[in-house]
Amino acid sequence: MAAPADQASSKHFVLVHGVCVGGWAWFKVATRLRDAGHRVSTPDLAASGVDPRPLREVPTFRDYSKPLLDLLLSVPPGEKVVLVGHSFGGVSIALACELFPEKVAAAVFVSAFMPDHRSPPSYVLEKYKKRRMDWMDMEFKPQDPEGKLPISIRFGPLVTRAKFYQLCSPEDLTLGRSLMRVGSMFVDDLKLQPPYTEARYGSVRKVFIVLKDDNAIFEGFQRWMVQNYPVDEVREIHGADHMALLSTPDELARCLAD
């Protein structure tokens, strides 16, 4: 568990979930950080967690990330937060850094997709999709015949257990399966967006946490992202699957509290 923070070193962490889950996925890490004296926010992005909107009402990545952007907008002038993105949440915190760099003390990518400032934000997602991987019973489906809405993603029970939660407890796997929703990675929309800028996104201190036993975003691809866009610091967590939020919460909370 993270060591208690005094008032001067207490931070405001904003923990951003990945695709198809919600802020609930951070419950173990959030509890540890709060117990250590930090303030923690775990927003549900649009059509995620307990957000009532269905995916078809969230046509763009900006719409999807709006709850996070609204939270940053509400941060008082002069205050800064530590943004933490897991998995697809990395693209959302990158957008938040681009729009509000003055409100971000650091951006932490936990085995997360990390855009650079040379390519459209979709670049790392497209590189990832080109890797050979057995997606088992994961479903990718159009939401409408015209193809105007983003492609939806649904995780089946086999891929969830084998690729994402393989080191989690049976209880955590059951929780994850019961709370999972249909999501999207908005790749076509992100292809149309300009690169995030060096002056804004590039100015924010960045940390990447490598999850050594991640079967979804393999360690090799995590390290490729760091090579593609070097960060200020790289940490590692051994024995962590993709859902380190649930499988290794003590280690992850300690990394963040540092």
Give the residue numbers annotated as catalytic, written as ranges: 87, 214, 242
- The answer to whether 13 and 33 are in contact (CB under 8 A) is yes
- First vs last C-alpha separation in the chain: 12
Within 8 A by CB and 6+ apart from 196, the residues are 94, 95, 97, 98, 115, 116, 117, 121, 202
| Block residue for tokens 């105007």 | 148
Q: Name the 3-class secondary structure at 77.
A: coil
The span from the CA of 158 to the CA of 127, in Å, is: 24
